[in-house]
């Protein structure tokens, strides 16, 4: 194994889109980066305005994995701070293992900086909660099967059978398939569905609300394709229901280490 003689690779989550939703740590790394390889098809180029003038910048959208690894390895051997800037959070659909394994085999030191996921940004944009007391306490982050196969046990119909909140990535172009899988799992045609395109992107964010039966048509009408999050679950539209249970944490008769119950 070769020994890394110089720098370090930082894999930084840029967040869902808006430049001010990157973490403070992520922005600080961009500000002192010697080289940045960014996912140009997904990451706003506005993030690059924080890079110093001497910084080498390249867009990975046209690169293969092998070319990306070679580009990063060459820079990290001679520069101190090398950043791979990815959309959302690197640990979610970020090809993190594929990218870092060959680099670490060459002795490259790697550190990951988490980012805000588009799942959280989409829920925030629509002012929706992904969990609700006594309704659902589980969130499943998944995708439906397209060109990338899914393990049989993780087919959407199996996961949806739990009745928990589903945040479905990378599937907006497969809405008919998503709908059919949810029907197979027993979800109703009247089930509320939320689709958020480019969550948090200034002047580009679109929020589509509807029912399972009409979401394919609504997304087609709005020309929703890539970079969209599908959220479906029992907590959607909770603000419109009068019988929601409040969290016990804030109840007057609930004691915890910071407050004694009023009895």
Domains and CATH numbers, the chain: 8-113 (3.40.1010.10), 118-236 (3.30.950.10)
Task: Give the pLDDT confidence score for residue 244 in this predicted structure.
Answer: 62
* Owner of token pair 């804030």: 250
Q: pLDDT-derived band of residue 147, with 50, 70 and 90 as boundaries?
A: confident
Task: Give the pLDDT confidence score for residue 4 in this predicted structure.
Answer: 45
**Average of per-residue pLDDT across 38-62:** 96
The tens digit of pLDDT for each residue in 102-141 reads 999 999 999 999 999 999 999 999 999 999 988 999 999 9
Task: Give the pLDDT confidence score for residue 138 in this predicted structure.
Answer: 97
pTM, two decimals, is 0.89
Helices (H) and strands (E) in the chain, counts: 7, 10
What is the average pLDDT score of the chain? 92
Percentage, residues of the chain above pLDDT 70: 90
Give exposure, 66-84, as e/b (b: 16+ Cβ within 10 Å): eebbebbbebbbebebbbb
The tens digit of pLDDT for each residue in 177-229 reads 999 999 999 999 999 999 999 999 999 999 999 999 999 999 999 999 888 99
């Amino acid at each position: 194994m070769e020994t890394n003689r110089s720098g370090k690779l930082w894999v930084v989550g840029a967040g869902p889109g808006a430049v001010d939703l990157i973490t403070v740590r992520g922005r600080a790394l961009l500000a002192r980066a010697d080289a940045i390889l960014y996912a140009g098809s997904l990451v706003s180029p506005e993030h690059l305005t924080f890079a110093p003038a001497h910084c080498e910048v390249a867009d990975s959208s046209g690169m293969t994995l092998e070319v990306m690894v070679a580009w990063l390895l060459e820079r990290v051997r001679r520069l101190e701070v090398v950043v791979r800037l990815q959309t959302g959070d690197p640990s979610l659909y970020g090809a993190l293992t594929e990218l870092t394994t060959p680099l670490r085999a060459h002795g490259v030191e790697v550190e990951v900086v988490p980012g805000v996921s588009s799942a959280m940004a989409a829920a925030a944009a629509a002012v929706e909660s992904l969990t609700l007391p006594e309704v659902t306490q589980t969130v499943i982050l998944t995708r439906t099967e397209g060109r990338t196969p899914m393990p049989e046990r993780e087919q959407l119909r199996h996961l949806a059978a739990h009745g928990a909140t589903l945040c479905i990535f990378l599937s907006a172009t497969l809405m008919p398939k998503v709908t059919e899988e949810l029907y197979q799992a027993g979800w109703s045609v009247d089930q509320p569905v939320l689709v958020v395109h480019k969550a948090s992107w200034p002047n580009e964010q679109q929020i589509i609300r509807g029912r399972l039966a009409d979401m394919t048509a609504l997304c087609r009408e709005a020309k929703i394709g890539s970079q969209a999050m599908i959220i479906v679950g029992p907590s959607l539209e909770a603000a419109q229901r009068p019988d929601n249970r409040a969290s016990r944490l804030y109840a007057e008769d609930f004691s915890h280490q910071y407050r004694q119950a009023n009895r």
